[in-house]
Amino acid sequence: MAITFEEFRTAFQRNITTPQGHDYARLVHRWSPNEEGKPLLVVEPLLEKDVSWAIRYANLNNVEVAVVAGGHSFMGASSSNGGMQIDLRCVKQVYVENERFGADGILSVQGGASIGFFGWLLGGGAGWAMGKYGYAVDSALSARVALASGEVVTASLDENPNLFWALRGAGYNFGVVTSLKLRVEACPHRIFFALLAYQTSEFEALIAASAEYAKTQGGEDSLGIIYGTQDAFGGPGESMLLILYYHGHDEAEARRRFKPVMDIPHMPLRCGMEWLTAACDLVESTIPYTRRYADSTAMADMSFDALKPALRKCAPGTDKAEDEDEAIRLCKDIISEIHGKQEQILGLRDHRWGSVYPNGALLPGTEASYVFGDRYPRLQEVKAKYDPGNFFHKKHPIEPLKR
């Protein structure tokens, strides 16, 4: 039996915003335009029962649901056109159970804490310190999940263990995760973090130096490169943004490890010792408001010769991509170019390194079976039990196993 909107509004008792509401523009705004939608309703729960009511109303009335943790999904999974957005950003309590200040402990965190923390973790949780601590999802101990029926259950190794297994990597396919408990380790010291911008004349040297760095990379340090079709000042042009992280308290040692890339002329945007929380907070102003797409297939290696043809297409091409379909076609063409060159240069039959990173997302149209590989059949079984109607389908949708 369907729930009327009046019944839902009475039971929900929290903020419900329509397109006419004064907060609507803020609530639907995302980090890039291709991630935004135009929902008919945005609901802001504060309690689990609010999430449950929102799901029940949407499911019984055939309303699509998108879940907003931080609004940072490259695929637009946190947005809806014509449906409902369950916005968890008001639900953000965080507390630690430990013996003393600065000791390891158990972290309890709600769904809207930080920028997209839940989406990041449920898709794997790769981070700057994963060489030392592994993926964030490996630290999960339990989760509270609101299912498509509206029922809220606990998932852990002891309760609903198959659901708990599926949540850790494909968590956005089975329900709304309202809270998590994780095992955490203390970081009582500052770490080294840097954001460095490089102009086009330094691209080839930067890629070569990054490959040189990788030969001696340790578990405590990591490096990431972001290519953008803006210069270091946000104007027209191209640039590469280098992200450096060292999980140690010795700045001289950090600079020694990153010397190959730091010796190349660059403009420092941030560089020095910071508290870990600051290093994890790449604010919205760091990334320009432009279309963003991703292919998170792990590559076996990378060379500038493989990137060069793709970069030539990138610079003029992205400015001309005036609609979504054209932009996606351009991205697929660029990625195909990189894959082809990589196989040719390295003599590889398969450009993949045997894995795909779910959180990083893939271009629209990519099948979930590609993302999850040989785990996909088991995920289909879990889907059939907990979401047989495929209510949650916004990102890498898993088809429930047919009985």
Q: Which helix (H) or strand (E) is 318 found in, with range?
A: helix 304-320
What does the pLDDT average to over 213-234? 82
Question: Is the pLDDT score of 350 beyond 60?
Answer: no
In tens, the pLDDT along 255-297 reads 999 999 999 999 998 999 999 888 776 655 556 677 777 777 6
Give pLDDT, residue 330.
Answer: 79
How far is the C-alpha of 27 from the C-alpha of 50, rounded, in Å?
18
Question: Is the pLDDT score of 16 beyond 80?
Answer: yes
How far is the C-alpha of 313 from the C-alpha of 293, rounded, in Å?
15
How far is the C-alpha of 184 from the C-alpha of 369, rounded, in Å?
32
- Reading the block at residue 43, the tokens are 């609901």
Q: For tokens 């130096």, what's the residue?
A: 209
Residue 79: strand pairing partners: none
Q: How confident is the model at residue 127 (pLDDT cuts 50, 70, 90)?
A: confident
How far is the C-alpha of 209 from the C-alpha of 259, rounded, in Å?
9
CA distances to 172, 198, 256 from 253, rounded to whole Å, are 39, 23, 5
What does the pLDDT average to over 24-47? 92
Mean of pLDDT over the chain: 85
In tens, the pLDDT along 334-344 reads 877 777 777 77
Q: Domains in the chain, start-ordered, CATH in brackets?
A: 5-87 (3.30.43.10), 94-186 (3.30.465.10), 191-355 (3.40.462.20)
Give pLDDT, residue 353.
Answer: 47
In tens, the pLDDT along 145-159 reads 999 999 999 999 999
pTM here is 0.88
In tens, the pLDDT along 73-84 reads 777 888 999 999
Question: Is the pLDDT score of 373 beyond 70?
Answer: yes
How far is the C-alpha of 337 from the C-alpha of 319, rounded, in Å?
19
Across 80-84, 139-143, 345-349, 374-378, least confident range: 345-349
In tens, the pLDDT along 87-104 reads 999 988 888 999 988 899
How far is the C-alpha of 200 from the C-alpha of 234, rounded, in Å?
14
Question: Is the pLDDT score of 354 beyond 70?
Answer: no
What does the pLDDT average to over 292-307? 69
- CB-CB contact of 152 with 48 (8 Å): yes
Give pLDDT, residue 366.
Answer: 78
Give pLDDT, residue 351.
Answer: 46
What end-to-end distance do the CA atoms of the chain give, in Å? 25
Q: Which helix (H) or strand (E) is 201 found in, with range?
A: none
